[in-house]
């Protein structure tokens, strides 16, 4: 039986993976996050399983391979935290879960928008103290407003459908527009200028790092609401903080933060030296920040476990890896590259 080292384990992870595993693999669960100091834990394992905030640099890749790990199964969609050049060099196969529940993430984005707009968080806190004042709780009708969707993959398209259900006009920006979606594609500048709500649903790659920054925030419709359930690095947090203070941005619903790896998924309430920018964002009355929980539904956890184990099954059976992140194809912008050795062998799906 193949052995899997499972890092950054939470109770819900163990429950969903034990249910899906059904004796297929010998899984050892570790609470520690996968980064350099944790690598010795992988000694003698055939596979390692990591999550979105792991730090999988060259040293970690080399250390895993030297200890016998042949495949890294990311139980998430994002992979910007993996050194793929090193993975290719040392022969470490990397797979992921590209779509666990796009509905979960899109619905959480809508929840952030509704809570922020109608001040549900404030109202709930007030009524617990028997304060039933409505002062300061005024929102705006979503109906008739414009929603700008940045990134039109599955999650972005589902969020667009939700916005249409509210009676909103929907416009979209994507580096690779898909006419089959039926969405109205515009330039990023036009989207920022016209949108009352901007929701980010694109991956974090070098081209999208700090896509929302001091310069782009000058172009937004004054008072707009910004939603981010994708990756924290899409937003320059200091620039957002300044725009919130000036009123250029009316509110922000964030499920991610660009320096979240040291803070999210754990109870940090007793830490005295907090991250300054994060502390300021959390303290603002027009910001809601959740701890990267958009994925957290029963259905998503089940899909993550099943797909991760299916990825491992395919690898150890020598079958094509539908969810492999191929270094050769990654270098060509995510498109299949002629001459890809794995593709020629029928192993890379591009």
Is the residue at 350 inside a domain?
no
Instruction: Look at residue 329 in the predicted model and tell me its pLDDT.
Output: 66
- Is 331 part of a structural domain of the chain? yes
* Tens-digit pLDDT profile for residues 43-64: 999 999 999 889 999 999 999 9
State the pLDDT at residue 334. 46
Q: Give the total number of structural domains in the chain.
A: 2
Residues 109 and 81 in one domain: no
Looking at residue 308, its pLDDT comes to: 97
260 in catalytic set? yes
pLDDT value of residue 344: 46
**Residue 156, domain member (yes or no):** yes
Angle at 112 between CA 109 and CA 113, to 5 degrees: 90
Residue 199 and residue 172 share a domain: yes
Q: Indicate the pTM of the whole model.
A: 0.84
Query: Does residue 151 fall inside a structural domain?
Result: yes
Q: Which member of 260, 324, 328, 343 is catalytic? A: 260
Residues 140 and 271 in one domain: yes
58 vs 283, more confident: 58
Cβ neighbors of 329 (< 8 A, separation 6 or more) are 335, 336, 337, 340, 343, 348, 350
* Percentage of the residues of the chain whose pLDDT score is greater than 90: 79
- Higher-confidence residue of 95 and 78: namely 95
Q: Which of 289, 311, 326 is the last residue of a domain?
A: 289
Q: Please check whether residues 226 and 257 belong to one and the same domain.
A: yes
**284 and 172 co-located in one domain:** yes
Radius of gyration (C-alpha) of the chain in whole angstroms:
21
Residues 86 and 116 placed together within one structural domain of the fold:
no
Same domain, 178 and 274: yes
Is 60 domain-assigned?
yes
Query: In the chain, what percentage of residues exceed pLDDT 70?
Result: 90
Q: Which domain holds residue 306?
A: 3-100+298-344
- 315 and 179, same structural domain? no
Kindly tell me if the per-residue pLDDT of 338 is higher than 50: no
Together in a domain, 241 and 281: yes
In a domain, 349, yes or no: no
Residues 138 and 285 in one domain: yes
Q: Is 231 a catalytic residue?
A: yes
Q: According to the 3-state scheme, what is the secondary structure of the chain?
A: CCEEEECCCCHHHHHHHHHHHCCCCEEEECCCCCCHHHHHHHCCCCEEEECCCCCECHHHHHHHHHCCCCEEEECCCCCCCECHHHHHHHCCEEECCCCCCHHHHHHHHHHHHHHHHHCHHHHHHHHHCCCCCCCCCCCCCCCCCEEEEECCCHHHHHHHHHHHHCCCEEEEECCCCCHHHCCEECCHHHHHHHCCEEEECCCCCCCCCCCECHHHHCCCCCCEEEEECCCHHHECHHHHHHHHHHCCEEEEEECCCCCHHHCCCCCCCCCCCCCHHHHHHHHCCCEEECCCCCCCCHHHHHHHHHHHHHHHHHHHCCCCECCECCHHHHCCCCCCCCCCHHHHCCCECC
Judgement on whether residues 226 and 268 belong to the same structural domain of the protein: yes
Distance of alpha carbon 337 from alpha carbon 328, whole angstroms: 7
Query: 288-318: per-residue pLDDT in tens?
Result: 999 889 999 999 999 999 999 999 999 999 9
Is residue 163 situated within a structural domain? yes
Average pLDDT over residues 138-144: 97
Is residue 193 included in any domain, yes or no? yes
Q: Which of these is catalytic: 292, 324, 328, 343?
A: 292
Confidence band of 245 (pLDDT split at 50, 70, 90)? very high
How does pLDDT run across 161-211, given as a tens digit for each residue? 999 999 999 999 999 999 999 999 999 999 999 999 999 999 888 999 999
Q: Can you give the CATH number for the domain in which 9 is found? A: 3.40.50.720
d(CA 246, CA 217): 11
What span, in angstroms and rounded, lies between the C-alpha atoms of 298 and 281? 29
Q: Give the residue, 219 or 338, on which the prediction is more confident.
A: 219
Given the residues 231, 258, 328, 343, the one annotated as active site? 231
Is residue 124 domain-shared with residue 248, that is, in the same domain?
A: yes
């Amino acid at each position: 039986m193949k052995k899997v080292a499972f890092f950054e384990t939470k109770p819900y992870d163990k429950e969903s993976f034990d249910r899906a595993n059904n004796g297929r693999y010998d899984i050892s669960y570790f609470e520690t996050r996968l980064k350099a100091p944790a690598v010795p834990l992988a000694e003698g394992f055939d596979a390692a399983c990591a999550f979105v905030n792991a730090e999988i640099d060259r040293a970690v890749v080399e250390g895993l391979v030297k200890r016998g790990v042949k495949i890294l199964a990311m139980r998430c969609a994002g992979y910007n935290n993996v050194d793929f050049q090193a993975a290719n060099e040392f022969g470490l196969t990397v797979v992921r879960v590209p779509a666990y529940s796009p509905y979960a993430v899109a619905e959480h984005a809508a929840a952030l928008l509704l809570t922020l707009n109608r001040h549900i968080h404030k109202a709930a806190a007030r009524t617990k103290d028997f304060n039933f004042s409505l002062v300061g709780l005024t929102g705006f009708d979503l109906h008739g407003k414009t929603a700008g969707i940045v990134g039109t993959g599955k999650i972005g398209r589902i969020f667009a459908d939700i916005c249409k259900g509210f009676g909103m006009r929907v416009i979209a920006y994507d580096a690779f527009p898909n006419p089959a979606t039926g969405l109205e594609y515009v330039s990023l500048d036009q989207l920022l200028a016209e949108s009352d709500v901007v929701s980010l649903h694109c991956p974090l790659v070098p081209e999208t790092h700090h896509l929302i920054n001091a310069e782009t925030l000058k172009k937004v419709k004054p008072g707009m609401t910004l939603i981010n359930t994708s990756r924290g690095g899409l937003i320059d947090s200091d620039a957002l903080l300044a725009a919130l203070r000036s009123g250029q941005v009316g509110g922000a619903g964030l499920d991610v933060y660009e320096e979240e790896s040291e803070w999210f998924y754990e109870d940090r309430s007793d830490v005295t030296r907090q991250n300054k920018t994060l502390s300021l964002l959390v303290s603002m009355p027009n910001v809601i920040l959740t701890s990267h929980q958009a994925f957290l539904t029963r259905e998503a956890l089940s899909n993550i476990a099943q797909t991760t184990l299916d990825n491992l099954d395919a690898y150890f059976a020598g079958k094509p890896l539908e969810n492999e992140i191929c270094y050769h194809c990654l270098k060509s912008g995510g498109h299949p590259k002629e001459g890809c050795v794995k593709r020629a062998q029928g192993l890379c799906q591009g």
